Amino acid sequence: MDKPGTTGRVIPALDRAREIKPCPLGAGESCCRVCAMGPCRVTESGKGARVGVCGATPDTIAARNLCRMIAAGTAAHSDHAREVVQTFCAVARGTAPGFELCDREKLSRLAAQLGCGKAEDPAVLAREVGKLFLGEFGRQEGELALAALAPPRRLERWRRLGLVPRGIDREVVESLHRTHMGVDQEALHLLHQGTRTALADGWGGSVIATAVRDVLFGTPRPVRSRVDLGVLKPDCVNIVVHGHEPLLPEVLVRLAADGEMTARARAVGAAGVNIAGMCCTANEILMRHDVPVASHFLQQELAIITGAVELMLVDVQCVMQGLAAVAACYHTRLVTTSEKARIKGARHVEFSPATALDTARELLYAAIDNFPNRRRVDIPPQAVELVTGFGQESIRHALGGRFRGSYRMLNENIINGWIRGVAGVVGCTNPRAASGASHGVLVRELVANDVLVLVTGCAALACARDGLLVPEAADSAGPGLREVCEALGIPPVLHCGSCVDNSRILMMAAEMVRAGGLGEDLSDLPVAGCAPEWMSEKALAVGQYFIGSGISVGLGVYFPGADSKEFAAQVFEGLTQDYGAAWFFEPDPQALARKILAHIEEKRRALGIEGRRERVLYDMKMRRRLDV
């Protein structure tokens, strides 16, 4: 791909990954970079020093590095939550004209859970809830309010271990302080703080972000849509929204459907305006508006290469700087919208809740006016159907309807063995792994063995491209899971939202404990999580908050610090003693599936439900003999 006005070539990410080899020191986490006496390469193999200049051991260095990555991941998710809450508060004050409180029923439930009163005016209630949520970021003492949503046994364990997060920001800051040179130098102690920080994400920032977005934009319900680059339309003005903050895209989607925009597009020779999502902003507007998805993280540059994208809007997280160089080769206008993130070579139009409508209109005009500047267009024909919109509320409804919805039915099907367990498959797509292909291999194996799979983020989009997110995919499931899916009309792989929506999976697990029959803590459940192609530090924060909550998690690609024997023993085995869960590592997706299946069967044996109970259809004679 030649860049106009240069003698060089622009190389997309997949090609860059082949050309650039991973740093062996960084990949093994055997490099300490926290002070200017280093960087120190510290290994146990004899190929480098056995301790750093300050005496830091490989285990301390590995724990520091993991703790810092968890802190960065927690900061990313939670700062995203803060942005959403600030918009929510502006809506409650009446200073954000482009937004409204869409799910007032969920707002009332939230207020009741948090003890915010029962005001009849939704705006008053929203102000109280918003004030409480903002306070969770800066809290200095006590416990996060939302930690009380955890099962009582788990909360007791956290209190005994001193792991209940205080304030979200406080835990991030303390993690960075402890990992500064010369502070916390005991690996397990560092891991405990990393866990408390991750829990501030899982039971704090992520739960807040998901709940507030549901109130603002509506709680998702199952809808059909399509995924892959084939959703771009050759005769329409194409706008791709990419990133993780759905605030401006929500307004953009509504405004694009206005007759004025259609008329303006037709005036320049287009049939209309087509909006497509990319990455986790895609998951957000997909779940609520069935807006089609151009695909996952690794295809962001490829969308521009089709030559059919008039405008790409980006905000925060997982946005490649290489987009600017690729966009310069085409007519695509690249626009950044967050005050936190700019890219050299891109235009910046900053989002504000107060001016969202005007900003969205300006951007739509710019995209439409750019349509005549198109050159060659080459859109791949592929586009696959998917069903999305699953969360704790919609799954409860699917299990029993509006009045009888309960997780008891799911638990009963796990107890009788028709469903062996539940697996969360989350995280990114990674060019160092199989660029999304690992997810299909892994998930097909789990589904074939009667494991219900919950997916989020780019992992969900990779599974969707493999045709796994439609009810028809139940044909490839084991006989028990297939029967349950056919009875309920659901896919065997449920799309639960963006990466911050891993909190939905956490809440579903808590619902399973409350429904009864599968133990009294999250660590009793036949449930596991994994991120086969993780890329972002957010994935480590997510994994650690699931482990701290009692659910074991597997990683593919590589595991930070696995080269340090004592540290590896702690994260792969030692954490189980305190948390009832630990990490496991397996880069091969087939082998990773086998490990998850073995873990689920181990949990079933502990519960005494390792077998499978055949269903019996009772006739009237048998019913009369029942002792009720």
User: Which residues sit in the known binding site for [Ni-4Fe-4S] cluster?
Assistant: 244, 280, 318, 428, 458, 499
Residues of the binding site for [4Fe-4S] cluster: 23, 31-32, 35, 40, 54
- Residue numbers belonging to the annotated binding site: 23, 31-32, 35, 40, 54, 244, 280, 318, 428, 458, 499
To which residue do tokens 């507007």 refer? 285
DSSP-derived secondary structure for 344-358: TTSEE----GGGHHH
**545, 517, 461, 480: which is closest to 146 by C-alpha?**
545
Which helix (H) or strand (E) element contains residue 499?
none
Give bridge partners of residue 223 from the DSSP assignment: 388
Q: How far from each other are the two terminal CA atoms of the chain, in whole angstroms?
A: 74
Q: Distance between CA 144 and CA 182 in Å, rounded?
A: 29
CA dihedral 376, 435, 493, 522 (to 10 degrees): -140
Token readout for 256 is 């694009």
Contact present, 581 and 550 (Cβ < 8 Å): yes
Percent composition of the chain: helix, strand, coil (DSSP 3-state, to 5): 55, 10, 35
Place of tokens 């998702």: 220
CA angle (413, 417, 423) in 5-degree steps:
80
Q: Which residue has the tokens 């998710």?
A: 77
Name which of 277, 293, 267 is nearest 242 in CA terms: 277
Please give the C-alpha separations between residue 100 and each of 106, 217, 623, in angstroms, as whole numbers.
14, 8, 53
Contacts of 50 (CB under 8 A, 6+ apart): 42, 43, 44, 57, 58
CA geometry: angle 210, 206, 318, nearest 5 deg: 95
